[in-house]
Structure 1
Amino acid sequence: MADSTSTKKKQKRSVPAGQLHIQATFNNTIISFTDKKGNVLTQSSAGATGFRGSKKGTAYAAQVAAEKAAESVKSQYGVNSVDVFVKGVGMGRDAGIRALGAFDISIDSIKEVTGVPHGGVRPRKARRG
């Protein structure tokens, strides 16, 4: 009766081309590799790689996070080309892109997707008196 609930082994998915999303804030840098549809394959951040406090916002921390994520996605999914989407104003913006050079992952395009406010926030109410 143990055979009635057999589980299938998960297929190893091959994703030759994907996307790299870099969110670089002043406090942290988050690196996400996704497929072309935007489904996350693997992700890493400066905080997840062991950096704490003010060191998380550095370019070196972003580089280490990108290397960790790139190594994982290269071995598991065989990604060899990416489109890069950069969001934010932190120091890890270009450090995350430069880290890909060591992993033989070609960059097809780099796009800036930082949000820009159209009109900003609502102003304070007028002062009485």
Structure 2
Amino acid sequence: MPRRATRRFLPRKTKHRILKGVIYVRASFRNTIVTVTDTRGQAVSWSSAGACGFKGTKRRSPFAAQTAAANVVDTLVNQGLLKEAEVMISGPGPGRDTALRAIAQSGIQLSYVRDVTPMPHNGCRPPKRRRV
């Protein structure tokens, strides 16, 4: 007698609810990328100035960085997924301050803001002096 096929009902994935997260702002000279992760480091949401529709030299503007930061944070706040966050800012770009202002105005409680831009401790040897 053949066996009956039994269906196995697997539990659905629940919405990943994070109350505390880490917001990484990477501000380069050409673009600004904002990533929100949980405390374990798994990315929950991200946005960039290029993904928000800015092209060419407008991507490097502070307004584009503000739009990218507001875009990623507002989606999480509206869903009720993020209440408290730490902010890590990296890079020398022009959008780093305005991205931080946009995050602060979104209503998320910031526990701390840290600048994690890599700085050389007298690193690589510079190229030799040019003789003309």
TM (norm. structure 2) is 0.84
The letter for the 2-side match of 1:74 is V
CA offset at residue 107 of structure 1? 1.1
Distance 2:47 2:17 in 1: 20
Paired positions, count: 126
Q: Does 1:115 align with 2:118?
A: yes
Do 2:104 and 2:110's aligned partners in 1 also have CA atoms closer than 8 Å?
no
The letter for the 2-side match of 1:65 is A
Q: Does 1:3 align with 2:22?
A: no
The equivalent of 2:78 in structure 1 is 75
The equivalent of 1:47 in structure 2 is 50
Q: Which sections of structure 2, spanning at least 5 residues, go unmatched?
A: none
Distance 1:101 1:87 in 2: 17
The letter for the 2-side match of 1:88 is G
Larger radius of gyration: 2
Do 2:27 and 2:95's aligned partners in 1 also have CA atoms closer than 8 Å?
yes
Q: Paired residue for 2:38, among 35, 39, 49?
A: 35
The letter for the 2-side match of 1:13 is H
Q: Does 1:62 align with 2:56?
A: no
CA offset at residue 123 of structure 1? 4.9
Name the Cα RMSD after superposition: 2.2
Do 1:13 and 1:77's aligned partners in 2 also have CA atoms closer than 8 Å?
no
Distance 1:63 1:123, change over 3 A: closer
SS at match of 2:7: helix
Structure 1 stretches of at least 4 aligned residues deviating more than 3 Å after TM superposition: 122-125
Distance 2:99 2:76 in 1: 14
Q: Which sections of structure 1, spanning at least 5 residues, go unmatched?
A: none
TM (norm. structure 1) is 0.86
SS at match of 2:35: strand
